[in-house]
Amino acid sequence: MLKLLFTPIQVGKMELKNRVVMPAMHYLASWEGMVLPHHVDYFAERAKGGAALIIIGGCTIDEASGAVNMLSAKDDKFIPGLAGLAKVVKGHGAKIAAQLYHAGRYSHSMLMGGKQSVSSSPIRSRFTGETPRELSIPEIKQVQRNYALAAGRIQRAGFDAVEVIASAGYLISQFLSPLVNRRKDEYGGDFENRVRFGREVIEEIRRGVGPDFPIIVRVAGNEFMDGGLANEEARLFSRELENAGANMINVTGGWHETRVPQITMGLPRGGFVYLAQGIKQAVSIPVMACNRISDPILADRILRDRQADLIGFARGLIADPELPNKAREGRFDEINYCIACNQGCFDPIFEGKPQTCLVNARAGAEGKRTLEPASGRKKVMVIGGGPAGMEAARVAALRGHEVCLYEKNECLGGQLPLAAAPPGRAEFLTFVRYLEGQMKKLKVTMHTGTEATPLQVEREKPEVVILATGAKPAIPGIQGADRPNVVLAWDVLSGKADTGKEVVIIGGGAVGLETAMFLARKGTIDADTLYFLMFNQAEKPETIQTLLYRGLKKITVLEMLKRVGQDIGRSTRWAILQDLARLGVRTLSKAMAKEITERGVVIEREGREELIPGDTVVLATGANPVNSLYDQIKNRVREIHMIGDAKSPRKALEAVAEGLEVGRTI
């Protein structure tokens, strides 16, 4: 079925066994730039899984290039650690490259021991809230030498290639783009001058590493910044890079400051392939397409259509390190696909936490969270078929236990189908489908539509019970909460409850905002209709925009805290708020709901009472655990564990991690 994904390709003098590449994802759990044992475990697992090339890093190249806890190539002392990692990865049959990283004005002083960041010009960064220092010409030459020195270290450490990041709005982009390059010397002004810094970096590296060592450059296919460079300039830039000695162009999306989502689930799968396609038309070296291509069938189609020569699977390989091997063997239904939620991988960066993954809780702790065969086969009864219960069942069955699972609803997945209900969030169902498939494959005996009772537990005679009975919506003690015009957010999302024309949602956390999105999109046009109208020029562009943004309902979200969406990760929150604003949803923070009437919700805000009108009031006011069975059975079973929301309502990330932990330790 796959024609090209598993065919070899030449990048300069480097032969890759297939077209699957793991692009760089900086991994913050380093200690002063050193490679640590968990890095080795992490990358070894991806190498074993069948990827042809693994790009580690970004790696800092000098003191001002990035955070202290990123991997580094800024000194010879890092070579032994890098060499050890390279040996292991290569031992598993993959090639290894390192990304050289200089974030320029995107480096935060706090993460660089108080040092001010540097850039082409002193333009304040919205990303860090800080203003960088302009590099002088001698400093520019030094930074370029630092790139070359770092590349030399990577080469000496036995790596197969080096990559330079010239995208994302980092230092090389900061020279290339007129948005922040205001220099008057030979490094600023027209395109030729702005391209000089990046071109010279590649030339300097080439001089250092010799003619045969492959150099990859990662470029922004479009900066996606107002007044910034688009794909046309990225093509010209890529051609310059090729002339300067680059052997491959890795194409990603825009800058960190862009308001166009780059890696959220809102970006359709393969949504940025057109950027790589544009660049492929401008250069003769191999081009890699990236972002949201976690599906090997899609990847193969991109290659067959000659839109790109290689495919970057970044989070796809966090989610499932074995994805390439499974795809090569045609085991597509066994792949645990990335759902682009960012909860475990990208969001923790902002809190300085290490990487993990919602759908693969082993990610980042491969050496610790190992899955050993069970020492004795036990009968395990899992109660609850949400993410926590199914993950526990999967892991326990994988280790050789005899597992049965009880779920009171007909459908599995717990709250994941609710999370998947708003437009653009359907990826959550991908994980449910994977877990369902695993239940079948691992022969977990399923009892859906069956509420587990103490009697049933007695009949099953399990040696271990895992209680993963989830949560139910919390009803706040607001006067009028029992009125007929009040519905629960979960019921709205599941289609059980209807709403009127004017809706007030109480609770501006993730569930409240997602419900607002779900309702606000009612009556707007879908993707196919948009395509039809645009393609046939059937409506004026202004009319199409109105049809996209204006639905049938007027929606207000009330949140008593200072900010709405407090429980949503930083990489996704801004995109959700932007969507809601475009859809005309009003959000009111610091708004305390006092009473629900037939005319709406009376709130108190900044000392004043006000009626927020609405014919329907939706409650999105949190959840309470469902775990009464625990007390009823705890004295009747030998071993009992409570996990996920049944223990305390949190995110799916925690639920899955607890499922894994109990599954691998019983």
Task: Write down the H helix ranges in 92-169.
Answer: 137-156
- Using CB under 6 A, which residues numbered 5 to 64 contact ligand FMN? 23-26, 57-58
Map tokens 């010397």 to a residue: 185
To ligand FMN, the closest distance from the beta carbon of 356 in angstroms equals 10
- With CB under 6 A as the contact rule, the residue among 314, 405, 506, 510 that binds ligand FMN is 314
Is the Cβ–Cβ distance between 519 and 492 less than 8 Å? Answer: yes
To ligand FMN, the closest distance from the beta carbon of 278 in angstroms equals 17
Q: How far apart are CA 152 and CA 5, in angstroms?
A: 31
Bridge partners, residue 407, by sequence: 448
Please say which residue, 42 or 213, places its beta carbon nearer to ligand FMN: 42
Please say which residue, 429 or 475, places its beta carbon nearer to ligand FMN: 429
Q: How far apart are CA 609 and CA 360, in angstroms?
A: 47
Please say which residue, 252 or 360, places its beta carbon nearer to ligand FMN: 252
Q: How far apart are CA 666 and CA 520, in angstroms?
A: 45
Give the length of the chain.
666
Q: How far apart are CA 579 and CA 560, in angstroms?
A: 21
Is the Cβ–Cβ distance between 640 and 465 less than 8 Å? Answer: yes
To ligand FMN, the closest distance from the beta carbon of 313 in angstroms equals 5
Per-residue x/- marks for ligand FMN, 258-287, CB under 6 A? Answer: -----x------------------------
Please say which residue, 25 or 520, places its beta carbon nearer to ligand FMN: 25
Please say which residue, 252 or 438, places its beta carbon nearer to ligand FMN: 252
In eight-state DSSP terms, residue 284 is: S
Please say which residue, 17 or 269, places its beta carbon nearer to ligand FMN: 269
Q: Could you tell me the sign of the dihedral formed by the alpha carbons of 427, 429, 432, 434, in that order?
A: negative
To ligand FMN, the closest distance from the beta carbon of 218 in angstroms equals 5
- Candidates 37-45, 73-81, 298-306, 309-317: pick the segment binding ligand FMN (CB under 6 A): 309-317
Per-residue x/- marks for ligand FMN, 525-564, CB under 6 A? Answer: ----------------------------------------
- Candidates 105-113, 312-320, 361-369, 518-526: pick the segment binding ligand FMN (CB under 6 A): 312-320
Map tokens 């002063």 to a residue: 32
- Using CB under 6 A, which residues numbered 347 to 366 contact ligand FMN? 349, 355
- With CB under 6 A as the contact rule, the residue among 117, 120, 291, 515 that binds ligand FMN is 291
- Candidates 225-233, 308-316, 328-336, 643-651: pick the segment binding ligand FMN (CB under 6 A): 308-316
| Cβ neighbours of 351 (radius 10 Å) | 9
Please say which residue, 169 or 551, places its beta carbon nearer to ligand FMN: 169
Separation of first and last alpha carbons in the chain: 39
Q: Tell me the CA distances in angstroms from 326 to 1, 48, 385, 429, one per residue in order.
A: 13, 12, 25, 20
Q: How far apart are CA 620 and CA 504, in angstroms?
A: 10
165 binds ligand FMN (CB under 6 A): yes
Task: Write down the H helix ranges in 70-164.
Answer: 79-91, 137-156
To ligand FMN, the closest distance from the beta carbon of 316 in angstroms equals 5
Please say which residue, 355 or 415, places its beta carbon nearer to ligand FMN: 355
Longest dimension (CA), the chain: 82
Please say which residue, 51 or 591, places its beta carbon nearer to ligand FMN: 51
Side-chain half-sphere of 229: how many Cα atoms within 13 Å? 31
How many residues in the shown chain lie near ligand FMN by CB under 6 A?
26
Please say which residue, 144 or 343, places its beta carbon nearer to ligand FMN: 343
Per-residue x/- marks for ligand FMN, 85-114, CB under 6 A? Answer: --------------x-x-------------
Please say which residue, 58 or 551, places its beta carbon nearer to ligand FMN: 58
Q: In a 10 Å sphere around its CB, with 0-12 CB exposed, 13-18 middle and 19+ buried, how is residue 441 labelled?
A: middle
Q: What is the amino acid identity at position 287?
A: V
- Using CB under 6 A, which residues numbered 198 to 227 contact ligand FMN? 218
3-state secondary structure of 615: coil
119 binds ligand FMN (CB under 6 A): no
To ligand FMN, the closest distance from the beta carbon of 281 in angstroms equals 21
Structure-block tokens of residue 625: 């655990």
Is the Cβ–Cβ distance between 310 and 8 less than 8 Å? Answer: no
- Please state the separation of Cα 186 from the chain's center in Å: 39
- With CB under 6 A as the contact rule, the residue among 106, 147, 255, 346 that binds ligand FMN is 346
To ligand FMN, the closest distance from the beta carbon of 347 in angstroms equals 9
Please say which residue, 291 or 307, places its beta carbon nearer to ligand FMN: 291
Q: How far apart are CA 643 and CA 28, in angstroms?
A: 28
Q: What is the amino acid identity at position 350?
A: F
- With CB under 6 A as the contact rule, the residue among 290, 323, 420, 439 that binds ligand FMN is 290
| Cβ neighbours of 66 (radius 10 Å) | 30
- With CB under 6 A as the contact rule, the residue among 72, 252, 469, 621 that binds ligand FMN is 252
- With CB under 6 A as the contact rule, the residue among 153, 183, 199, 315 that binds ligand FMN is 315
Please say which residue, 107 or 627, places its beta carbon nearer to ligand FMN: 107
Picking from 562, 555, 615, the residue whose alpha carbon sits closest to that of residue 583 is: 555
Is the Cβ–Cβ distance between 148 and 41 less than 8 Å? Answer: no
Is the Cβ–Cβ distance between 41 and 89 less than 8 Å? Answer: no
- Candidates 74-82, 288-296, 539-547, 649-657: pick the segment binding ligand FMN (CB under 6 A): 288-296
To ligand FMN, the closest distance from the beta carbon of 323 in angstroms equals 11
Bridge partners, residue 73, by sequence: none
CA geometry: angle at 50 spanning 44 and 56, to 5°? 45
To ligand FMN, the closest distance from the beta carbon of 393 in angstroms equals 28
Picking from 262, 360, 291, 327, the residue whose alpha carbon sits closest to that of residue 45 is: 360
Please say which residue, 9 or 51, places its beta carbon nearer to ligand FMN: 51
- With CB under 6 A as the contact rule, the residue among 159, 187, 313, 490 that binds ligand FMN is 313
Please say which residue, 343 or 621, places its beta carbon nearer to ligand FMN: 343
Please say which residue, 261 or 470, places its beta carbon nearer to ligand FMN: 261
3-state secondary structure of 582: helix
Structure-block tokens of residue 166: 């010239």
**Residue 513 φ/ψ, nearest 5 degrees:** -70, -40
Picking from 324, 320, 312, 365, the residue whose alpha carbon sits closest to that of residue 338 is: 320
- Candidates 111-119, 306-314, 592-600, 607-615: pick the segment binding ligand FMN (CB under 6 A): 306-314
Q: How far apart are CA 251 and CA 164, in angstroms?
A: 12
Q: How far apart are CA 392 and CA 91, in angstroms?
A: 32
To ligand FMN, the closest distance from the beta carbon of 647 in angstroms equals 27
- Candidates 3-11, 41-49, 280-288, 290-298: pick the segment binding ligand FMN (CB under 6 A): 290-298
To ligand FMN, the closest distance from the beta carbon of 345 in angstroms equals 4
Please say which residue, 195 or 290, places its beta carbon nearer to ligand FMN: 290
**Residues near ligand FMN (CB under 6 A):** 23-26, 57-58, 99, 101, 165, 218, 252, 263, 290-294, 312-316, 345-346, 349, 355
